[in-house]
Amino acid sequence: MLPAMLRTRDGRVRGTVPCAGCGLTPELCACPWLEEVELGFDLVVVRHAYERNRGSNTVRLLQKVVPATRVLPFGTEGSPFDAETFREMQRPVVLFPRGDRVLAPGDLVREGDDARPSLIVLDGSWSQCRRMARRVPGITELPFVRLPPSPERVWQLRRSESPAHVCTFEAVVRAVEVAGSPTAAAVLQSSLAIVDVLGRHSRGFLDRDAAQRRLDALLEGRADDRPQLR
């Protein structure tokens, strides 16, 4: 029996405690195949309180592969948001589609003695993020940027209002691409794809053979043992 299994009083298995890193159940944990990445800018996620325990939320995965990620909770009862964090930033931009300004390499690249850039990402449903873009203390004073047009999204574990709407993790991947770091972006994208495949398999959206083929393709050329689904 897996140590993380939870049982009801009559002994039936009720569920499993998800991994704190990838959010998957222990038998499908993706952490051994996830690589850490260091970014050239500070990454700050303002996460709606309702997102903290959602299984489809990608911030825990982002913290796993980008350990320097800073998460600021918003909307937690009894814990007012501290806007001082924003005032300490020297070159902040908020990644949210308000206005026409598109995220550019100069927003995230540090040259010479320039101050280190900071990317602020809002995390929640689109309706929550629209409200957060107006209500988070101090955020309306900062410059807002949108992502440039890009291919179809990878994360399929959560529905969105539009194909142009992507999860927080994927938004960061595209920002890293804009910053001119294709290798780091590819590593991040691979991590997201691995967790997406395992997550869809665990929910019955992908059968074992289809999930195994996709995992083998994602991990092709890796020296470590590949997961074998049962």
Alpha helices in the chain (DSSP H): 59-65, 84-88, 105-108, 126-135, 168-178, 182-202, 208-218
* pTM (two decimals): 0.85
DSSP string covering 13-41, please?
A: EEEEPPPTTT-S-GGG--GGG------SS
Per-residue b/e over 131-169, b at no fewer than 16 CB within 10 Å?
bbbeebeebeeeebbebeeeeebbbbbeeeeeeebbbbb
Q: What is the dihedral of CA 176, 20, 227, 16, to 10 degrees?
A: -140
**Confidence band for 180, pLDDT divided at 50, 70 and 90:** very high
Residue 10 lies in a domain: no
Residue 228 lies in a domain: no
**Confidence band for 229, pLDDT divided at 50, 70 and 90:** confident
Residue 204 lies in a domain: yes
Residue 229 lies in a domain: no
74-110 pLDDT tens trace: 988 878 888 888 999 999 999 999 888 999 999 999 8
Number of domains in the chain: 1
Looking at the chain, the whole-number percentage of residues with pLDDT higher than 90 is 48
Tell me, what's the pLDDT at 226?
Answer: 65
Looking at the chain, the whole-number percentage of residues with pLDDT higher than 70 is 83
Residue 20 lies in a domain: no
Residue 97 belongs to domain with CATH number: 3.40.1280
Residue 72 lies in a domain: yes
Tell me, what's the pLDDT at 6?
Answer: 36
Closest listed residue to residue 215, CA positions, set 28, 86, 52: 28
Residue 225 lies in a domain: no
Residue 61 lies in a domain: yes
The pair phi, psi for residue 123, each rounded to 5°, is -125, 120
What domain range is 110 assigned to? 28-218
Tell me, what's the pLDDT at 167?
Answer: 85
Closest listed residue to residue 62, CA positions, set 77, 47, 78, 80: 47
